[in-house]
Amino acid sequence: MNGYLPEDIPAAEVEREERLYAPFTHAVRELVDATIRTEADEAEVRAAQAEIEAITARLRRRQLDGSYGVRLRPDGNNRAWGNAVIGVRNPVAPPLRIEHDGRGRVWSDFRLGAAYEGPPTLVHGGVSALILDQLLGQAAGSGGRPGMTGTLTVRYRKPTPLGDLRGEAWIDRSEGVKTWARGHLIGPDGVTVEGEGVFILPRWARERPAEKPAPQYFE
């Protein structure tokens, strides 16, 4: 299923793993920020590099063969912990905590720091598109219309500043296996970026047995 892996482990074990990996990943995320902004002297940087390389070697002694994938839960939820926007185990992810109303509308309040910079003090346009793609896909999924991105159109209305931001998305309409979703990012001075996407239910999900609920989203 191309990285979509059925998973049937107790909920308590999922919670235990989240308690373990979420703070660990956050520590690496803080390291990325510190790497960008440090003004330590050369000796300190070289010493830190050696320590980081040693830690990396330790962690590589046991690791997955390939990417994390998405673990599909029997209840229709999933673990997209390697995801570049929401991944609990991905230090690249801000990460976003996305709320939803169950009827095709989602939102998230989040913060983007130095690691997401494009123009000075502003969010990289590709990062804005990445986040909108995730929000639109989860809007489609939360409304019972999960799918893979078919097309994504992004309109940049004004620069998006680094710092505290909000994202919102909702289902616009559906037809067959396609769902159209729209959304935007909001900064201190209003909407900065707007997006519209078409999400297509993949063939393997269409063939999923009726008694097994489809995942909420595939992004």
User: Residue 68's closest CA among 148, 133, 3, 137?
Assistant: 3
Q: How confident is the model at residue 145 (pLDDT cuts 50, 70, 90)?
A: confident
User: Residue 145's closest CA among 97, 179, 188?
Assistant: 179
Stretch(es) of the chain classified as CATH 3.10.129.10: 97-206
Which pTM value belongs to this model?
Answer: 0.90
Report whether pLDDT(125) > 60. Answer: yes
Angle ∠(60,63,67) on CA atoms, nearest 5: 120
Radius of gyration, alpha carbons of the chain: 19
Contact indicator for 180, 196 with CB cutoff of 8 Å: yes
Q: What is the distance between the alpha carbons of residues 166 and 169, in angstroms, rounded to a whole number?
A: 10
Q: Which pLDDT score, from 0 to 100, does residue 160 have?
A: 98
Q: Model confidence over 60-75: pLDDT tens digits?
A: 999 999 999 999 888 7
Q: Which pLDDT score, from 0 to 100, does residue 138 have?
A: 94
The gap from C-alpha 117 to its chain's centroid, in whole angstroms, comes to 17
- Give SS3 for 75: coil
Q: How confident is the model at residue 216 (pLDDT cuts 50, 70, 90)?
A: low
Q: Model confidence over 15-55: pLDDT tens digits?
A: 999 999 999 999 999 999 999 999 999 999 999 999 999 99
Query: For all residues of the chain together, what is the average pLDDT?
Result: 92
Q: Model confidence over 195-207: pLDDT tens digits?
A: 999 999 887 666 6
- Give SS3 for 11: helix
| 14 compared with 212, residue with greater pLDDT | 14
Q: Which pLDDT score, from 0 to 100, does residue 143 have?
A: 80
Contact indicator for 195, 149 with CB cutoff of 8 Å: no
Mean pLDDT value of segment 165-173:
97
Q: Which pLDDT score, from 0 to 100, does residue 93 have?
A: 98
Q: At 147, phi and psi to the nearest 5? A: -175, 170
**For domain 97-206, which architecture applies?**
Roll (3.10)
Percentage of residues of the chain with pLDDT beyond 70 = 91
